[in-house]
Amino acid sequence: MAKEGVEKAEETEQMIEKEAVKEPAEGGGGSHRLGDAQEMRAVVLAGFGGLNKLRVTRKAMPEPQDGELKIRVKACGLNFIDLMVRQGNIDNPPKTPLVPGFECSGIVEALGDSVKGFEIGDRVMAFVNYNAWAEVVCTPVEFVYKIPDDMSFSEAAAFPVNFVTAYMMLFEVANLREGMSVLVHSAGGGVGQAVAQLCSTVPNVTVFGTASTFKHEAIKDSVTHLFDRNADYVQEVKRISAEGVDIVLDCLCGDNTGKGLGLLKPLGTYILYGSSNMVTGETKSFFSFAKSWWQVEKVNPIKLYEENKVIAGFSLLNLLFKQGRAGLIRGVVDKLIGLYNQKKVKPVVDSLWALEEVKEAMQRIHDRGNIGKLILDVEKTPTPLMANDSTETSEAGEEEEDHEGDGENKERMPFIQ
């Protein structure tokens, strides 16, 4: 077994050396020319399913169209929605193969026609409608934002989805004010930590959070009351606040919907912004989907009217890419950058992973092992034992199936912040 591990490490080191030989003598970022076309590294999802559907390969480098910026990517954010995309566990999934990812940070490398307000060399963060997990992306200028000089690229990649989602739910949908109370699930995750920080900017806000027990020590100071995610949090909340809470932020769905509505005070707001309970295994599960759907309490509008309660949903990606609210989001980002400059908020980065380590990074999110955000660091050198599994492709460019049991000897060795 040990011999096999050594042989795999040696093979991977040789593979990395071969890739290094392909790098150009001039020009950074790992791009090189094949004929007249420049290429780049990117994570490609070959088809919906498990981790074996992901591979790092070379693709043609995009060029900016009218109104777009070309960004040399330094870091990419990894979100739970990316797991659901990989499984095909979303409404109207796009066609594969595709490059996943919805947010990144980097340096402006080129400007498309009619782009104003940016210059080549600007440090930026951006939303991308897929294609973020690559060395170079092109995205419309309305989705790009300059970042402060003291914000690192990993922080910038952890900023857009998490903090904009948290801000929109708290202040635009639920109208958070002084003296109110908030229940947030997955308090140790990227959005959960953003919610906790933003609540601290409003006087006398009580934050109830649920999280896995092993995270409690690390996040106990960020929330007022912390409960185990598997405990009867309804009774725990009512023991502290008999009336319940003003705002419930639910990324779980399933039976938590009914529990959340039941915990609302009069004039309280329940917001659903995810459905992670549907993800139980590595691949899409019809049983998990059906169970989660069946457990959702059927909402009676008359009951909402009688109890003076509000139920809402929030999808940042739909708001941006389908509903055309980029102007609204830019105003929110400006406010959040102001809070960052005032040292009132700061992205919590769990760990940094190379593109070739994307499978291990996804597994860490699936296991709910992260505290804060996982980041794909485009310039990070992969750990050999992990790089081997994510970069091998057949001559036809198709992914090779993982052999059963291969994953048992893989070590998770990210750079932990």
The predicted-structure confidence for 128-171, as pLDDT tens digits, reads as follows: 999 999 999 999 999 999 999 999 999 999 999 999 999 999 99
Average pLDDT over residues 293-306: 74
Tokens at 258, concatenated: 């009914």
pLDDT averaged over the chain? 84
Band of residue 206 on the pLDDT scale cut at 50, 70, 90: very high
Better-predicted residue by pLDDT, 238 or 281 = 238
| CA dihedral (16, 20, 23, 28) positive or negative | positive
Tokens at 57, concatenated: 């390969």
| 39-154: CATH superfamily | Medium-chain alcohol dehydrogenases, catalytic domain (3.90.180.10)
Average pLDDT over residues 55-80: 97
Band of residue 309 on the pLDDT scale cut at 50, 70, 90: very high
Assess whether pLDDT exceeds 70 at residue 56.
yes
For residue 105, which of 142, 147, 66, 141 has the smallest C-alpha distance?
147
CATH 3.90.180.10 residue window(s) in the chain: 39-154
| CA dihedral (232, 236, 242, 248) positive or negative | negative
Band of residue 25 on the pLDDT scale cut at 50, 70, 90: very low
Other CB atoms within a 10 A radius of the CB of residue 67 amount to 15
Average pLDDT over residues 344-364: 96
Neighbour-count burial for 242-279, b at 16+ CB within 10 Å, e otherwise: eebbbbbbbbbbbebbbbbbebbbeebbbbbbbbbbbb
Residue the block writes with tokens 């070739």: 356
Assess whether pLDDT exceeds 70 at residue 295.
no
Helices (H), 37-107: 80-87
CATH 3.40.50.720 residue window(s) in the chain: 160-341
Q: pTM for this one?
A: 0.82
Architecture of domain 160-341: 3-Layer(aba) Sandwich (3.40)
Assess whether pLDDT exceeds 60 at residue 306.
yes
For residue 30, the model assigns a pLDDT of 54
Tokens at 208, concatenated: 């109830």
For residue 196, the model assigns a pLDDT of 97
Assess whether pLDDT exceeds 80 at residue 23.
no
Band of residue 335 on the pLDDT scale cut at 50, 70, 90: very high
Average pLDDT over residues 33-59: 87
